Amino acid sequence: ETGVTQTPRHLVMGMTNKKSLKCEQHLGHNAMYWYKQSAKKPLELMFVYSLEERVENNSVPSRFSPECPNSSHLFLHLHTLQPEDSALYLCASRSSGGTDTQYFGPGTRLTVL
């Protein structure tokens, strides 16, 4: 499989559950991103990893916990979420050099009940 893949594509969870979102890129990139896309709001950058080190953390609540075990994989661990966390979560990757073009996965549609 090529490009950026995300699993699951849809997730429904209760506020007390713990779940994880997974992102995998097959492009040989060394930087990976998590974004939150909510209705009627701009794309919100959550986390950036470069060479497996977190280089950006935009004041995201601690109930979101990222993990980047290697340059091809990125996880977002979720626990005790709130209904307002319901959104489309997008993963993206890019090369550290080059023209800053980001390649996006299809997203995980998260619903928190």
Interface with another protein in residues 32-91 (CB under 8 A): 33, 41-43, 45, 48, 50, 55-56, 90
Task: Compute the least distance from the CB of residue 86 to another protein, in Å.
Answer: 15
- 106 contacts another protein (rule: CB under 8 A): yes
Identify residue 3 by its one-letter amino acid code. Answer: G
> Is there a contact between 100 and 94 (Cβ–Cβ < 8 Å)?
yes
Each residue of 73-105: b (16+ CB within 10 Å) or e? ebbbebeebeeebbbebbbbbbeeeeeeebebb
Tell me the closest approach of the beta carbon of residue 1 to another protein, in angstroms: 15
Contacts of 105 (CB under 8 A, 6+ apart): 3, 4, 5, 6, 23, 25, 90, 91, 92
CB of 96 to another protein, least distance (A): 7
Nearer to another protein, 6 or 78 (CB): 6
Nearest-approach distance from CB 9 to another protein, in angstroms: 8
- The site for another protein (CB under 8 A) is made up of 4, 6, 31, 33, 41-43, 45, 48, 50, 55-56, 90, 92, 96-97, 99-107, 109
